[in-house]
């Protein structure tokens, strides 16, 4: 029997329960990426409110808070919840770590290991069939993702992200055949809440839409179009940020002001100058 929280998650994606298959997995991943935002608003608020152990919601609360606030999350929440939902749907799914700061999901379907990552903020819109290709390449605008095998027999693969042809710090070697224990994942989540950790030190929001990709980093918004053009805006007030989140992102329920207040309580000003790595 499929849990009610799983049915509500599928309803949010406008999907129904189906038998486990690659095509169904692809439907879920694609619909998730175009429905739930990648964001740290929820992470900041959960931390301030001391919500749940390790500040990560259970699956029921994850679905509740998407419906109520349009929360999605970062990889630490999203990919753990997606794995739990896929398990409930009958998939052989588990979490892995891709590097020290990223949690992803792998599904074993027949003899394949399939990467399902709903929170890497990268242009990967369908499950990655790791064993079927010597190189999986995904390109959108000036970003390129390359996933390639290092040792297929031992399920070792490499993830690389390029921006404008330059390799970024997102370069990971991962073991697709190594499920991580809950205690291992909890330690990763705990580190992600330390002082100075990336998603505790800035405001971050991204959503994919059918005709564009929109990102917000502190007070700077960028809208990427498939033809290679980019719109850039620097917002001057919290009200302007709220308006962009409401009208451009379509996330009118997202409590972005509260997240900014959480950052202010930590001594972080979202209107201060960004460093070179964070700037446009």
Q: What is the pLDDT of residue 273?
A: 62
Asked whether residue 117 is assigned to any structural domain, the reply reads yes
- Per-residue confidence band for 132, with pLDDT thresholds at 50, 70 and 90: confident
Question: What is the spatial distance between Cα 82 and Cα 29, in angstroms, rounded to a whole number?
Answer: 9
- Quote the number of domains for the chain: 1
**Going by C-beta distance under 8 Å and a sequence separation of 6 or more, which residues neighbour residue 58?**
52
Q: Answer whether residue 13 is part of any domain.
A: yes
Half-sphere exposure of 43 (CA within 13 A, CB side): 26
Segment 218-239, tens digit of pLDDT: 999 999 998 889 999 999 999 9
Identify whether 277 is part of a domain: no
CATH code at 259? 3.30.2140.20
Residue 279: the pLDDT is 41
pTM, to two decimals = 0.94
Q: Is residue 275 part of a domain?
A: no
Residue 53, pLDDT > 90, answer no
Residue 71 located in a structural domain: yes
Is residue 184 included in any domain, yes or no?
yes
């Amino acid at each position: 029997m499929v849990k009610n929280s799983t049915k509500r998650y599928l309803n949010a994606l406008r999907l129904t329960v189906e038998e486990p298959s690659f095509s169904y997995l692809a439907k879920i991943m694609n619909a998730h990426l175009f429905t739930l935002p990648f964001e740290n608003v929820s992470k900041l608020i959960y931390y301030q409110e001391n919500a749940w152990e390790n500040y990560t919601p259970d699956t029921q609360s994850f679905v509740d808070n998407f419906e109520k606030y349009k929360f999605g999350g970062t990889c630490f929440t999203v990919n753990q919840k997606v794995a739990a939902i896929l398990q409930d749907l009958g998939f052989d799914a588990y979490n892995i770590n891709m590097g020290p700061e990223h949690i992803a999901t792998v599904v074993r379907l027949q003899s394949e290991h399939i990467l399902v990552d709903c929170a890497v903020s990268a242009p990967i819109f369908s499950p990655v069939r790791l064993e079927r290709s010597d190189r999986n390449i995904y390109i959108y605008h000036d970003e390129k993702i390359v996933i390639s095998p290092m040792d297929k027999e031992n399920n070792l693969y490499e993830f690389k992200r390029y921006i404008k042809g330059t390799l970024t710090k997102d370069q990971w070697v991962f073991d697709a055949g190594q499920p991580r224990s809950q205690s291992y994942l909890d330690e990763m989540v705990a580190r992600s809440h330390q002082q100075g950790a990336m998603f505790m030190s800035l405001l971050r929001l991204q959503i994919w839409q059918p005709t564009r990709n929109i990102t917000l980093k502190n007070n700077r918004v960028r809208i990427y179009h498939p033809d290679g053009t980019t719109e850039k805006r620097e917002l001057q007030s919290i009200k302007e940020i709220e308006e962009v989140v409401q009208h451009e992102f379509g996330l009118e329920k997202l409590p972005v002001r509260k997240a900014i207040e959480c950052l202010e309580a930590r001594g972080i000003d979202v209107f201060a100058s960004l460093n070179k790595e964070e700037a446009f």
